[in-house]
């Protein structure tokens, strides 16, 4: 039954047999958010495109090549959001959320968009989860944000992941480091990829992040940011590590983590899946103390992380983890005869009203056919009602797992099912 229309290139449908997995991951995320007292914020899926140009930065791949920009009927330029942090900070400033108590801990879930060449595991519409903690620069907050991510992955049952952390310094110490990098890369300039040659001018740290093999080989010998941290940043980074140790969260320091986005400073971290190949980052995050100011607010520290559900799903499948039970009805109602059918129509509504998930055959088929369907739906019980039972005000309840069945009074059925 192939139709004329196909899902847009780079997108996909989450079908009913898969959607329970997504619900599971989302529910666990919301649970952890509750435990850490983060509250949900929902922003539009499109924003004025300069929000991303100003924040994510014009030298980043996202803005240069991958933004899904469009013009509306009045000629305004919008972009489908490529990431979640800038819209959250935009909303934070616009609504003065800092003035209200406990508003600075926010989480979001939803689709993001990149006009990227689709490839395995990379989509034009993809789904992310993330948190933002805005208003504090205490290193404890850095450790708490990291522990949220750690708790989330652990609660899903994942074991094969590693936390890598780094400090990328502040405005004060990054200048010297950028100069050191420029000096280091200068002799290799012609061997770097064309993107990196541009990066070397505007944002040399991003060369360290390049996925091109030759760039990676050259970057191996580059000076380490950690040798350029000023006193403040060093103290800060040590404290973050100390808190993590106190929380018994193991980590490794990886000075090559720079984050792809321009507004990050100090703490940067990644959770890496140790099973997956090249595209192995489960969660990426860090501090972005300069972002609010770039979006026209006052200077305001912030830290957060984001991760993709697609990658998470792969990792969970790789480790054979459970996504809970797919949705099935508790009861499948089988009726035989016209009067039983009318009574059944009333009964099914009552069952549902009492919170019991119930399915009913809309076709008038034979009892055998209905029983087959009942088994196929994965229902725990079949209720069988014939005209004969109806006359005596009785109904048959059959346990579909072990085949046991008995007759009970119709008026007792809801209570009886609720006890099971």
Interface residues with Zn ion (CB under 5 A)? 169-170, 172-173, 193, 196, 210, 212, 215, 230, 233
Q: Which is nearer to Zn ion, 170 or 356 (CB)?
A: 170
Strands 281-287 and 265-273 come out as: antiparallel
CB nearer to Zn ion: give 202 or 392.
202
* Cβ proximity to Zn ion, 29 vs 177, nearer residue: 177
* Closest CB 274 distance from Zn ion, rounded Å: 25
The residue (of 13 and 231) whose beta carbon lies closer to Zn ion is 231
Strand partners, 126: 112
Pick between residue 199 and residue 398 the one whose CB is nearest to Zn ion: 199
Closest CA to 258 of 168, 352, 383, 371: 168
Q: Measured from the CB of residue 262, what is the shortest distance to Zn ion in angstroms?
A: 16
Bridge pairing between strands 77-80 and 252-253: unpaired
Neighbour-count burial of 224, counting CB atoms closer than 10 A to its CB (0-12 exposed, 13-18 middle, 19+ buried) = middle
Q: How far is the CB of 187 from Zn ion (least distance, A)?
A: 16
Nearest Cα residue to 148 out of 300, 24, 240, 34? 34
Distance linking the first and last C-alpha atoms of the chain? 41
Nearer Cβ to Zn ion, position 61 or 359?
61
- Minimum CB separation from Zn ion for residue 61, in Å? 11
The contacts of residue 237 (CB under 8 Å, 6+ apart) are 139, 167, 226, 229, 266, 267
Residue 102's CB is within 10 A of a number of other CB atoms, namely 9
Q: How far is the CB of 232 from Zn ion (least distance, A)?
A: 5
CA–CA–CA angle 111, 207, 315 (5° rounding): 40
Cα–Cα distance measured from residue 257 to residue 226, given in angstroms and rounded to the nearest whole number: 11
What is the closest distance, in whole angstroms, from the C-beta atom of residue 243 to Zn ion in the complex? Answer: 19
């Amino acid at each position: 039954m192939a139709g004329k229309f196909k899902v847009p290139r780079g997108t996909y449908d989450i079908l009913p047999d898969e959607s329970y997995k997504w619900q599971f991951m989302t529910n666990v995320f919301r649970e952890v958010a509750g435990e850490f007292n983060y509250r949900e914020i929902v922003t539009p899926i499109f924003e004025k495109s300069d929000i991303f140009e100003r924040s994510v930065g014009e030298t980043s791949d996202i803005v240069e090549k991958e933004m899904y920009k469009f013009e509306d009927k009045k000629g305004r330029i919008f972009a489908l959001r490529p990431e979640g942090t800038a819209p959250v900070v935009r909303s934070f400033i616009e609504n003065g959320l800092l003035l209200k108590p406990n508003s600075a801990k926010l989480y979001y879930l939803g689709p993001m968009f990149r006009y990227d060449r689709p490839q395995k595991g990379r989509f034009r519409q993809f789904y992310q989860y993330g948190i933002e903690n805005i208003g504090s620069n205490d290193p404890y907050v850095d450790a708490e944000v990291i522990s949220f991510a750690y708790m989330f992955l652990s609660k899903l049952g994942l074991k094969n992941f590693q936390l890598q952390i780094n400090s990328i310094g502040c405005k004060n110490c990054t200048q010297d480091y950028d100069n050191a990098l420029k000096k280091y890369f200068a002799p290799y300039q012609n061997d770097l990829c064309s993107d990196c040659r541009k990066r070397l001018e505007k944002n040399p740290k991003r060369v360290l992040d390049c996925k091109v093999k030759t760039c990676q080989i050259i970057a191996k010998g580059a000076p380490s940011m950690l040798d350029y941290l000023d006193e403040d940043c060093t103290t800060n980074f040590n404290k973050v590590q100390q808190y993590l140790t106190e929380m018994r969260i193991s980590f490794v320091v990886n000075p090559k983590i720079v984050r792809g986005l321009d507004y990050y400073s100090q703490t940067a971290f990644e959770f890496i899946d140790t099973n997956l190949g090249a595209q192995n980052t489960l969660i990426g995050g860090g501090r972005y103390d300069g972002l609010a100011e770039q979006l026209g607010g006052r200077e305001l520290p912030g830290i957060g992380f984001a991760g993709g559900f697609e990658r998470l799903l792969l990792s969970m499948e790789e480790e054979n983890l459970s996504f809970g039970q797919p949705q099935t009805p508790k009861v499948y109602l089988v009726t035989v005869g016209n009067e039983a059918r009318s009574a059944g129509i009333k009964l099914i509504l009552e069952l549902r009203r009492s919170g019991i998930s119930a399915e009913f055959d809309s076709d008038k088929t034979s009892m055998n056919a209905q029983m087959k369907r009942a088994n196929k739906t994965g229902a725990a019980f079949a209720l069988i009602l014939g005209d004969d039972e109806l006359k005596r005000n009785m109904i048959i309840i059959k346990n579909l797992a072990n085949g046991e069945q008995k007759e009970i009074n119709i008026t007792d059925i809801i209570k009886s099912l609720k006890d099971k």
